[in-house]
Structure 1
Amino acid sequence: MKIKLKHIIFLIMIASFAAIFYGLSLDEDHPDAQKYVGGGTVGLFLVAMPLFLWKESQGKNMKDYMLTKENIKKMQEKERKKTKNQ
């Protein structure tokens, strides 16, 4: 059985949310409540999010997303074409 990265990311996300909600459901005086909330937050923002961003950015050229003079001109030309057709 082949487990894909998106399934692993989804499981980490669900586990992180579960830990956060479990920590919030405990009494404030419980010694482990803050540990669950903190662990869930770390899992969500320092594990799941970077994995997701890395997975989604594979194979994409970063030059296409930079604001260079060429890209700004291309965007302005697209706007002009849209306004003329409307």
Structure 2
Amino acid sequence: MKIKIKYIVVLITLASLGSIIYGFTLEEAHPLAPKFIGGGTIGLFLIAMPLFLYKESKGKNMKDYMLTKENIDKMQENERKKPENQ
């Protein structure tokens, strides 16, 4: 059974957001409140975001997104081709 990364990312994101919300709903004096908030933040930024970026960038050429002289010339050429009445 092959689980898609998309569903794993969504599950981690929801669990992280749930943990953050649960941490904020606990009383301020509760000793575990900061741990829930911190764990949710770590889940979002150190687990879910890199997995999402890996999934979305798979199969794409990074050279196409670099600001090289060649790509800048292509962008300027596309700007010249646009009609003025848009």
Quickly name the TM-score band, shorter chain normalised. Answer: over 0.9
What TM-score, normalized to structure 1? 0.94
- Whether 1:69 and 2:69 are equivalent positions in the alignment is yes
Query: Equivalent residues in 2 for 1:20-59 (5 A)?
Result: 20-59=20-59
User: Take 2:71 and 2:2, find their aligned partners in 1: how far apart are those partners?
Assistant: 40
2:27 maps to a residue whose letter is D
Which is richer in helix? 1
Matched residue count: 86
Residue segments in structure 2 that go unaligned for 5+ positions in a row: none
Equivalent residue, structure 1, for 2:7: 7
In the TM superposition, structure 1's runs of 4+ consecutive aligned residues that sit over 2 Å from their partners are: 83-86
Equivalent residue, structure 2, for 1:16: 16
Let me know the Cα RMSD of the aligned residues.
1.3
2:33 maps to a residue whose letter is A
